[in-house]
Amino acid sequence: MWKRTLAAVAVILLAPVSAWAGIYDLTVGKTTINVAGKDQTAMTINGSLPGPVLRFKEGEDLTINVTNTLAEDTSIHWHGLLLPYRQDGVPGISFPGIKPGETFTYRFPAQQAGTYWYHSHSGMQEAVGMYGAMVIEPKAREPFRYDREYVIVLSDWHPDDSPRTILSNLKMSADYYNYQQRTLGTFLDDAKKTGFGATLSDRMDWGDMRMVPSDIADVSGFVFLMNGRNMEQNWTGLFKPGERVRLRIVNAAAMTFFDIRIPGLKMTVVQADGNSVRPVPVDEFRIAVAETYDVIVRPTENKAFSILAESMARTGFARGTLAPQMGMAGDIPSLRPKQFLTMADMAGHGGMDHGSMNHGAASGGVTHTMPDGTVMKGTAQDAHAGHAMPGQATHTMPDGTAMAGMDHSAHGAMAMTDKADPFYAPGSGLMPKAADGGKFLSYADLKAFKPLYPDRPAGRVIEVRLTGNMERYVWSINGVKYSDAEPIRLKFGERVRFKFVNETMMTHPMHLHGMWQILDNGSGKYNPAKHTISIAPGKTVEADVEADAEGQWAFHCHLMYHMAAGMFRKVVVERETAEVIR
């Protein structure tokens, strides 16, 4: 017994103070890495890519000292955490940023538990290595069991171009990285399958929209990483057969959606974006940029299993291994056939402006966003009828009846099947489908284990149209890019409904800082709370927001170059008695 006691004391004495006192010292700098066959420079936190896993306990006060050794400003945002807005880490909104040579100390309480992450919110530094995971242990026992756990951070690394070069190239030509352009040869191949007339009509339709069906990812050429390692470097987590293994999975990529599967193992989803959900056994799931999912697997065989994170565009894998001993490796299948957009994904393309920012005209009417964020429309805009005017109460009754013009037609039946995921347009080229015909997770499957808030109707609706200008590579909300936009203003204590209408052919993971988005997936009071919601092309998705965090918050698409190109807003939450938040 005394030997075990001495061993425990030794562990405590040797452990860094930060691990026990809620204190961390982080240094931002540059590090040489080799994940693409050559030495390259990454911006890192404490010299590693990803940065260190920060572990805290729910309820403790956190102190995180961040020292900037770069020659440029930096910052760290605590993604998904509820905290005072001055600690949120967004330059120009919550604080000025961290100057070269300076140290900034973040202080805030850990108000929640779960898997989260952190990253730079400055100068697209996140795309070149500045990210890491956070784990906050709960006070109470979690509603599931596991024997060991691993954190898996997924990311993408571009071996050729810097983030600034990538954005410049996209501004020069939105198709700069699209290497799957249609040719005469593909026209003849398609004509053999569907006929000359149908093929010609299809090409003309796409030509009218100045789009191509292969435009699923804006950027190609990435090397995909799992915990900072490429496929050959093969990150490995060990297990003993029969153990329940919890995988805390974070998508820290700049631009890549991943479809995750572990051939030979069923995964049970137990948390989404840090919040516990009723367990969902699945064979595969899609994780959008900035989302987190916790899954539990139970390997019983004494063999290696491949963890495969395949890009949604089918351009490569991030890959790791679960194994009973180091040095083992599971099989790696071939990439699945590339996916292509269909006309179903173009259902909302009226918001894609190819020559100007006059999106109101493109949609058939005049659109104006009021200072409080409420969208005012002319009567010609029938396609988006159902919004709430200022002062008009809008909500859904317990029996599902939509009141005050609420348009719930996008939801339909919420039963999940791989053939008709309600969060994708019917016939979408991005429709999720498990590799071996098994179960693919849908947002419709996510039910909160315990609601975070009392169920109540929203007082108003704010329409968030996701729009863009492809020729100029300008992304926007309600037809207005961030530099020209007024803030969305919320009253402290109110519940509002964000109605996301994706009028583009791209999928947008929309992230709100400082507050939860309660995704309406038809589960009523058990609708799941998420910090990031992925909106597929041509879809309308709704989420309620409890405005319970006073301050100024960022709200944006988490695709790096969409955010940088204008799909971003400031959200201001203020009390009615406050004149302005400074």
pLDDT, tens digit (0-9, with 9 covering 90-100), for 418-464: 457 999 999 999 999 999 889 999 999 999 999 999 999 999 999 99
Contact predicate 521/413, CB 8 Å: no
User: Which DSSP string corresponds to 469-502?
Assistant: ETTTTEEEETTB-GGGPPPEEEETT-EEEEEEEE
- DSSP strand pairing (317-323 vs 305-311): antiparallel
- The mean-pLDDT minimum among 85-89, 185-189, 282-286 falls in 185-189
Beta-bridge partner residues of 475:
468
Are the beta carbons of 111 and 134 closer than 8 angstroms?
Answer: no
Tell me how many helices (H) and strands (E) the chain has: 7, 32
Q: How far is residue 98's CA from residue 122's CA, in Å, rounded to a whole number? A: 10
Tokens of 257: 């959606």
477-523 pLDDT per residue, tens: 999 999 999 999 999 999 999 999 999 989 999 999 999 999 999 99
Bridge partners of 133, per DSSP, are: 117
| Of the listed ranges 56-60, 76-80, 361-365, 558-562, the one predicted with least confidence | 361-365
Residue 127 backbone dihedrals phi, psi, to 5 degrees = -70, -15
**3-class secondary structure, 445:** helix
**Angle (CA) 467 473 479, round 5°:** 25
- Mean residue pLDDT of the chain comes to 83
Task: Report pLDDT digits (tens) over 314-325.
Answer: 999 999 999 999
Q: How far apart are CA 262 and CA 332, in angstroms?
A: 10
pLDDT at 62 over 50: yes
DSSP structure string for 165-189: HHHHHHHH-TTTT------HHHHHH
Give 577's pLDDT tier (boundaries 50, 70, 90): low
Residues in CB range of 569: below 8 A, 6 or more apart: 477, 482, 485, 487, 488, 554, 555, 556
pLDDT at residue 404 tops 60: no
CB atoms within 10 A of CB 195: 11
- Report whether pLDDT(93) > 80: yes
User: What pLDDT is recorded for position 155?
Assistant: 98
Q: In sequence order, what are the beta bridge partners of 500?
A: 464, 541
| Pairwise pLDDT comparison (366 vs 323), residue with the higher score | 323
Instruction: Give Cα 165 distance to the centre of its chain.
Output: 23
Distance in angstroms (rounded) separating the CA atoms of residues 494 and 511 = 19
User: Considering only 117-131, 368-382, 558-572, which range has the smallest mean pLDDT?
Assistant: 368-382
Report d(CA 479, CA 174) in Å as an integer: 18
Reported residue count of the chain is 582
Residue 374 burial (CB count, 10 A): 21
> Distance of alpha carbon 304 from its chain centroid, rounded?
29
User: DSSP letters of 15-47?
Assistant: S-THHHHTEEEEEEEEEEE-SSSS-EEEEEETT
The end-to-end CA distance of the chain, in Å, is 58
Q: What percent of the chain has pLDDT over 70?
A: 76
pTM: 0.83
- 237: number of Cβ within 10 Å: 18
Question: Picking from 137-141, 291-295, 412-416, which range would have the lowest pLDDT averaged per residue?
Answer: 412-416
The pLDDT assigned to 191 comes to 53
389-to-373, 408, 555, 574 alpha-carbon distances in Å: 11, 17, 22, 20
Helices 184-194, 196-209: crossing angle, 10 deg rounding: 130
CA distances from 320 to 30, 66, 239, 281, 404 (A): 25, 30, 14, 21, 50
Q: Report the DSSP pairing between strands 508-512 and 532-535.
A: antiparallel
Q: What is the DSSP letter of 346?
A: G
Instruction: Please give the Cα distance from 158 to 223 (Å, whole number).
Output: 6
Buried b (16+ CB within 10 A) or exposed e, 332-360: eeeeeeebbbbbbbbbbbbbbbbeebebb
Per-residue pLDDT of 201-241, as tens digits, reads 554 554 545 456 666 888 999 999 999 999 999 999 999 99
Strand pairing class (495-502; 460-469): parallel
The share of the chain scoring above pLDDT 90, in percent, equals 71
